[in-house]
Amino acid sequence: MLSKGQRAINLLLLILAGEAIFILPFVLARIFRPTVLDVFELTNLELGTCFSVYGTVAFVSYFFGGSFADKYPPRYLMSISLILTALGGIYMSTYPSLLGLTMLYGYWGFTTIFLFWAAMIKATRVLGGKLQQGIAFGLLDGGRGLVSFAFGWLGILIFSWILVEKIETATLLERKEAYSYVVLICSVIIAVVGVLLIALVKEDPSVTKNIEKTTTHQLLKNYLEVIKIPSVWLLMIIILCAYTGYKITDVYSQYANEVMGYNESDAAAIGSNLLGIRVLIGIAIGLLADKTRSSFMMIISFGITIIGALIFASGYINPDTSMLFWFTIITVATGVYAFRTLYFSAIQEGKIPLELTGTAVGLISLIGFTPDIFMGPAMGVLMDNSPGELGLQQVFLMLAIFAFIGLLASVVFYRINRPNKSL
């Protein structure tokens, strides 16, 4: 058993690593979306295509990478991933062509997922034990929200500090220089986190012993066992619908810019501030999930998301309804960020054995995170074909539909995993 101090260090670095890995491909693009479209001279569809290439490579990486977490210690897998991802940031800062940027996102689809994702989920499950899965994943995602919030504001401060002129009057060249500094500084921090993982994280000896005994033949048997578990298939659907909602957070800053009339810096601040809400939601939902059930909280979260998405889709929000805008965006954010705590804390409730965690996460993620493939182009087509408010309304209507499907799947998951019912 690890000491409490070592467990705290492990959790802290797990949180840092868990969000740092996605800063370059997603968080900066989410917070600075209007700026990214300008400095890389992209349309919404072209940026969405980059995300789609990422998702396609990630799709394969989930399947083949999941079993690695059942065979090798997570800290080594995660550290390699962070350093490789940071190297991609150096290339991004040179402003590659559309082809180069697309290839970079494909590279990130491998570096952020293949060795990293299942290893992070399994390490968190081990920290949570049998009775504290909700709070373990709540602290992970709440902490990741705090890290993302910090990176976001660091990026905004660097961007604003480098720009000599006000952002409204800054030239394209000046904005490109400022954004390149944001990318490079974030890349250095990501690499440092990777080094700290190797230096400071320790594995539980009992878990390491089991890892070392896992053979390739056993890994193949693991896949066959996992596909027989009904909860695995339901979690695929639930995560797919929930992650669709998370992908739509990419347009929050664009909505503020195009519909509410915020400038690029203020719109970016909205995206970053919402990440702060993620901290509170992650911890609160994690505690509630341990006291109730993860599936029950998922049902509530999908319901909240549907309400917020339908308000956005209705067209009632405009520059004169600022309070309604904030109420609705916080409502959607609450539902969406709650899922990030819940969908892997539900692995324990779904009666998936600990030794099959990596394999199960790989298979669940294979389908669950396919929005990485289709949501970018789908949103790009809607927003490019119907510029401004109408396109954004259509995006949120799509969210409401997916959330309803997720609600139905969550109800089924809740019913088949009742405490007095065995699989």
Compute the mean pLDDT over every residue in the chain, rounded to the nearest whole number.
86
DSSP-H helix ranges across 292-370: 294-314, 322-349, 357-368
Cα–Cα distance between 191 and 60 in angstroms, integer?
A: 24
Q: Which helix H or strand E contains 419, and what residues bound it?
A: none
pLDDT at residue 389, as a whole number? 87
Q: Is the pLDDT reported for residue 421 higher than 70?
A: no
270, two tokens: 């909205």
CA distances from residue 146 to 103, 214, 415 in whole angstroms, order as listed: 30, 35, 34
Does the pLDDT of residue 125 top 70, yes or no?
yes
pLDDT tens-digit series, residues 59-92: 889 877 777 777 788 889 999 999 999 999 999 9
Mean pLDDT is lowest, of 5-19, 32-46, 156-170, for 156-170
Residue 10 has pLDDT above 60, yes or no: yes
374-398 mean pLDDT: 91
Arithmetic mean of pLDDT, 324-349: 86
Whether the per-residue pLDDT at 400 is higher than 90: the answer is: yes
pLDDT value for 168: 66
pLDDT recorded at residue 20: 95
| pLDDT for the residue 165 | 65
233/367 Cα distance (integer angstroms): 9
Per DSSP, the three-state class of 293 is: coil
Determine which of 37-41, 316-320, 390-394 has the lowest per-residue pLDDT on average. 316-320
Yes or no: say if 238 and 413 are a contact pair by the CB < 8 Å rule: yes
What local confidence, expressed as pLDDT, does residue 414 receive? Answer: 94
Specify the amino acid at residue 53. V
- Percent of the chain exceeding pLDDT 90 equals 43
Asked whether 74 and 202 are in contact (CB, 8 A), the reply is no
Highest mean pLDDT among 40-44, 183-187, 221-225: 183-187
Q: For residue 240, what pLDDT is reported?
A: 96
3-state helix, strand, coil in the chain (%, to 5): 80, 0, 20
Q: Averaged over 346-373, what is the pLDDT?
A: 84
What is the pLDDT confidence band of residue 305, given thresholds at 50, 70 and 90? very high
Backbone phi and psi for residue 291, each to the nearest 5 degrees, phi listed first: -85, -25
Least confident span in 68-82, 275-289, 330-344: 275-289
Q: Mean pLDDT over residues 199-224, rounded?
A: 68
Work out the pLDDT band at 217, boundaries 50, 70, 90: low
**How large is the average pLDDT for residues 257-271?**
82
Name the 3-class secondary structure at 94: coil
pTM for the whole structure: 0.75
| Predicted confidence (pLDDT) per residue in 233-259, tens digit | 999 999 999 999 988 887 888 898 888
pLDDT (mean) for 300-327: 93
Of 155-159, 228-232, 304-308, give the range with the top mean pLDDT: 304-308
Q: Average pLDDT in the 209-225 region? A: 66
CB count in 10 Å sphere of residue 161: 10
Give CA–CA dist 20/108, Å, rounded: 13
- The domain spans of the chain are 4-416
Q: What is the rounded distance in angstroms from the CA atom of residue 58 to the CA atom of residue 372?
A: 8
The 10s digit of each residue's pLDDT in 188-201 is: 999 999 999 999 98
Q: Judge: domain 4-416, CATH 3.40.50.300.
A: no
Residue 215 has pLDDT above 80, yes or no: no
| Residue 403 CB neighbours (<10 A) | 27
- What is residue 423's predicted lDDT score, i.e. its pLDDT? 40
Rounded to whole angstroms, what are the CA distances from 127 to 204, 217, 254, 279, 339? 9, 27, 38, 19, 20
User: pLDDT at position 122, please?
Assistant: 83
Q: Is 307 helix (H, G, I), strand (E, B) or coil?
A: helix
Could you tell me the pLDDT band of residue 422, with boundaries at 50, 70 and 90?
A: very low
Q: What's the rounded mean pLDDT across residues 140-144? A: 83
What is the DSSP annotation of 161-223? HH-SS-TTT--HHHHHHHHHHHHHHHHHHHHHHHHHHHHH----HHHHHHHHH--HHHHHHHH
Residue 394 pLDDT exceeds 90:
yes
Integer CA distances (angstroms), 292 to 95, 242, 246, 350, 417, in order = 48, 20, 24, 14, 13
